[in-house]
Structure 1
Amino acid sequence: MDTMLIVYTCRYRYIAHDNGYRRVCYYTNWAQYRHAPAKFVPANVDPTLCTHIIFAFAKLNGNHLAPFEWNDESTATAKGMYERINDLKQQNPSLKTLLAVGGWKMGSAPFTSMVATDASRREFATSTVQFLKKNGFDGLDIDWEYPAHRGSPAQDKDHFTQLLKVLHETFASEGLMLTAAVSCGKSTIDTAYDVPGISQYLDGINLMAYDLHGAGFETKTGHTAPLKSHPSETGTDKQLNVEYAVNYWLQKGAPAEKLNVGMPLYGISFTLANANNNGMFAPDKGNGGKAGTYTQQAGILAYYEVCDMLKNGGTRHWVNEMEIPYVVKGDQWVGYDDPESLKHKVDFIKSKGIGGIMVWSIDLDDFTGSCGEGKYPLLHAIKDELMAGQTQQ
């Protein structure tokens, strides 16, 4: 018996593997600009580790999708990144690819304009079908961060639902999938989404269950994606964990089988106010940790950069109550996920009947094996735990 299951949602197929669990991997088209050995292109992807790859990001040009990078689309003389990512299906014929539009940097304004009228929504839907088909994608991922936020008016909550309705109706006859990346913050969920409404039109709901803490908006250290709250947390801080976010989406009416719970393949870093006060919730300077050698962004480190920190004097600590690690080196503090914490998260989503996991992003795992744990240790840990207790037939 083939272990691949076909999950019917809406009026077309959303394909799942590993006895029903999806492994959705975001691929970022700017990872190509990192210096070697961190430079990441489609050839670096192991297509057996993901059931779905979401290419991030395309942008909006009025009511039409448009490529973001100069080499996303193929030319007469060079194969583009879209084509190169879709070529991975030759190695894994069951792999599905989607194109994501949006992201944090694009913001809300282009979406607000596009969703304003029924006519503009339909123009986007019909032109998107053509764009996806031309470039070999199996679907679209809407990454609007967020409806009714960041300058987006309150009516965009309804406009977002209407957009998904039109996309669903347009995609159905074309066999295209439709997913969305959504917030895990309670206040954003309440004001941005009609959860039962959007759930009926989406094949997958990618819950961004990370970036729950960060130096840019807090004055103390915190983990990017704690599984559970800490007993010392009070008020809204008790909501800033994966367990709460998943339970709240379920409570609001999201079908468990459509959720893909996000897991970070990176750490959020802080610069401690006092290197001798370095525990969980220790005061920080508010400007993020030092930029990584390769990712070059203050406040964030790829998993392979966390490994370098551990190899060069960093000390790993484990927080039992939250089921996550952090590392300290001098005045640098990083909350991250490793194989141990990811296995706890996988066990949690299995206990809730969740349909799958999502990772941000595949290029931040240790794809070269520099940590000494083999290539892609985080994705392998996730896949292995999803399959644990299952019998292949």
Structure 2
Amino acid sequence: MITVDQKITPLSITVTHAGILDRSCARRRVGYITSWGKQPFRDDQADKLTHLVFAFFVVDSDGSVKLEGDAAKERLEHVKEVGPGGCPSIKGPHFQVAARHPDLKLLYAVGGWENSQYFSVLTADHSRRSILISNLIKALKEYGFDGIDIDWEYPVTGGAIEGTPADRRNYVNLMRELRNELRELEEETGRPYLISFAGAAGHWVLKPGYDLQQLMKYCDFVNVMSYDYFGAWSSKWGAYTGPPAPLNFAMPKKFSGRMNVHATMKDYSCQIKATTVSKCPGAPKMPSSGEEGLAAKTSYYYCSYSTPNPPKFQINMGVPFYGRFWKNVGDAVDSTDDMWRTATATNSEGTKFEGGDVQWRDLHTKFDASKTKFHHGAKAPFIWLPEQKTFVGYENSDSLKHKVEYIVENNIGGVMIWAIDFDDDQGTLLNSAASDSLCSPSTKSFSYKCSPVDDKRWWTYDDNEELAGMCGKSAPLIDGYYPVCDPDDPGHACCGKFGYCGSGAEFCSCPECIDYGTDPNLILKEPVKPSQKITWYTADAGEGKRGRCGRDVPPMEGEAPTCNPDDANAHCCSNGGYCGNSKEHCECVGCVDFAKQRDFKYKPLEWWTFGENPANVGRCGYDAPRLSTGKIPKCDPDSESFCCSNSGYCGKGEQYCTCLGCVDFKANPGYEY
């Protein structure tokens, strides 16, 4: 039966194959079941789910798609009985339950972490994509599935094997061509078919590898793998303990604020931007008789929203039914917070850490769960066993309750579970993740504040460890722009008065602070690029130069450095040679306001300064030591000592300015000895 995910209005039509037959609940409950698992699929699980995804079928280098291994074949043993629409239905020792629940949609997944190595080459051109798609559909028809889930980990970068930049475009081509082939199959069989894909959690993988706006034109929904933010990985990042799926940012200072579910959900929601579509190209005329008219159709095409908000209903939040643990764990990073710790590596390179994963059904027998603590900031449970130097982060009913509330509050499309066979026999976690609360209506259409730019205008550790976190008009430029702070990183969304990104009052609430998280549009506040050639020292200039100006500072390209006229906090140079915005910087004798005098240039040095030689400061005239240029030193006309006495000293008053042989350089700035 064809279902509709959203209510039809004259201005907004979205047709997909995915949905829940119970019209009182408009959110998906997608559960993966593993091909290698031993736990049977049960009726009580089927009652809780809208979609079941069998993972994995294997993709080979020639584009063939098959079940591999006796366990997987036994798991999906089938007979070709004719079912609704003339297609075979899945039956067998593990899927007889599914046959008793005809409203449950069955998909199979291909790929995964250990079988994504061929996607890059198999999608590189149309002919190879055609072979792969033909085999994907062959398996779909042979086993009678309702759809296909592509789990490419990952296009372009971040996977076990690195891809190529072309993967991003070719992934869209794969989905478009697969959708076209499924449309033809729909016309033959009279039944709809689904396409979904598993999406990366990390923005450093998501942005370069996934063209979400284009992918969602051809896919019914995305199962976001919003977990595995922390684990005992074989890299330097494996040292940091934490829960596999913290809901909120709650890490110590200097840690990334993107390592949490909220940041990932925001990232997806903001990237999936709607395009105005009045009619889907090639689609049949949309019926005007409501849901009955829709149900009468046998083939539908995806139509994107014609509203200003991204269709968050295509997003499913992934939740893990497992935990991750570390051994050889040391003290907490913050003594007031037990969760965030570091583990000691087992190799000299500092890249190997002892640990692993544990399924929920086994967690309580492997670890002392009575030591569980709940981190109220991250909304995640953890176990810390100091005697064993062991840390365990995991998911439980309490943390899942908070995730369900988040899904409802932010109007996310549903929940995805990896994997239902990791649950205990009582269905403890599934009952929480797929509770009736998930069906509560949302009062929000779109709650996120998205960045107004697609490019990155902030420094990160991946760019340059020394420049990471620098921001403001005094920071070094990034791609020609004044660097700002990442509005999607709650740990570093504010630019503080000293030109560094962070969080808290010292970065977000001071008069000079800029909070990009609260108002991302501040990124576009002019000027976003320098209005003139840079003649001032930026924050990376080195010790003793940052914020300095005038003749007493080492020159830049042979000229005295200025202050940035675009910097509201430091556009004036004091007579002491420091940039700022106070009266002492802008209105004193010898001060220069570069915002008002943008073309001001310091004249060549004609008098002694402390930077040149402190012992000669104040000396002038024929008897004074010559400057490094060989010239006779004068007195600074903009200083308090603007006259040279006949005895060769700078000062003011009659004995310096009006005596015989005295020179008043303020009255005669062009005087030459």
1:249 aligned partner: 268
How many Å separate the matches in 2 of 1:133 and 1:10?
A: 26
Q: CA deviation at 1:199?
A: 1.1
Q: CA deviation at 1:41?
A: 3.4
Identity of matched residues, %: 25
Paired AA for residue 304 in structure 1 = R
Per-residue CA deviations over 1:71-109 (Å, capped at 9, x if unaligned) read 54479xx758x64354333321210110100000113x3
Q: CA deviation at 1:376?
A: 0.6
Q: Report matched runs for 1:122-137 at 5 Å.
A: 122-137=130-145
Q: Report matched runs for 1:185-204 at 5 Å.
A: 185-204=202-221
How many Å separate the matches in 1 of 2:136 and 2:172?
A: 17
Partner residue of 1:94 out of 80, 98, 103: 103
1:364 aligned partner: 422
- 2:365 is the counterpart of 1:322: no
Distance 1:301 1:94, change over 3 A: same
How many Å separate the matches in 2 of 1:272 and 1:314?
A: 21
Of 273-282 and 199-208, more deviation after overlay is shown by 273-282
How many Å separate the matches in 2 of 1:97 and 1:343?
A: 26
How many Å separate the matches in 2 of 1:12 and 1:46?
A: 24
CA RMSD of aligned residues (A): 2.7
Alignment TM-score, normalising by the size of structure 2:
0.50
Paired AA for residue 374 in structure 2 = W
Question: Match of 1:14, SS?
Answer: coil
Query: Is the 1:5–1:20 Cα contact (8 Å) retained in structure 2?
Result: no
How many Å separate the matches in 1 of 2:252 and 2:404?
A: 25
Q: Specify the structure having the higher radius of gyration (Cα).
A: 2
Between the two proteins, the alignment pairs up a number of residues equal to 359
Distance 1:88 1:10, change over 3 A: farther
How many Å separate the matches in 2 of 1:71 and 1:307?
A: 26
Partner residue of 1:226 out of 246, 252, 256: 246
Partner residue of 1:6 out of 4, 7, 14: 4
Query: Is the 1:86–1:97 Cα contact (8 Å) retained in structure 2?
Result: no
How many Å separate the matches in 2 of 1:166 and 1:362?
A: 31
Q: CA deviation at 1:225?
A: 0.3
2:338 aligned partner: 279
Query: Is the 2:213–2:271 Cα contact (8 Å) retained in structure 1?
Result: yes
1:371 aligned partner: none
* Structure 1 or 2: more helix by fraction: 1
Q: Report matched runs for 1:255-294 at 5 Å.
A: 255-274=311-330, 279-286=338-345
Query: Is the 1:275–1:331 Cα contact (8 Å) retained in structure 2?
Result: no
Query: Is the 2:224–2:318 Cα contact (8 Å) retained in structure 1?
Result: yes
How many Å separate the matches in 2 of 1:207 and 1:190?
A: 14
1:147 aligned partner: 155
How many Å separate the matches in 2 of 1:45 and 1:69?
A: 28
1:66 aligned partner: 66
Per-residue CA deviations over 1:26-68 (Å, capped at 9, x if unaligned) read 1011113xxxxxxx13458721121111100111132231112
* Structure 1 or 2: more strand by fraction: 1
Could you list the runs of 5+ residues in structure 1 that have no partner in the other structure? 33-39, 288-296, 369-374
Per-residue CA deviations over 1:268-290 (Å, capped at 9, x if unaligned) read 11114348999212121347xxx
Paired AA for residue 217 in structure 2 = Q
1:381 aligned partner: 432
Could you list the runs of 5+ residues in structure 2 that have no partner in the other structure? 7-12, 80-89, 187-191, 274-310, 347-353, 442-673
How many Å separate the matches in 1 of 2:101 and 2:36?
A: 24
Distance 1:286 1:171, change over 3 A: farther
Per-residue CA deviations over 1:248-305 (Å, capped at 9, x if unaligned) read 1111126211111100111111114348999212121347xxxxxxxxx951111122
Partner residue of 1:15 out of 14, 19, 22: 19
Higher relative contact order (CA 8 A, sep 6+): 1
Of 379-388 and 356-365, more deviation after overlay is shown by 379-388
2:259 aligned partner: 240
Q: Report matched runs for 1:25-64 at 5 Å.
A: 25-32=31-38, 40-42=39-41, 46-61=45-60, 62-64=62-64
Query: Is the 1:271–1:286 Cα contact (8 Å) retained in structure 2?
Result: no
Alignment TM-score, normalising by the size of structure 1:
0.84
Of 221-230 and 271-280, more deviation after overlay is shown by 271-280
How many Å separate the matches in 2 of 1:74 and 1:68?
A: 10
Query: Is the 1:86–1:137 Cα contact (8 Å) retained in structure 2?
Result: no
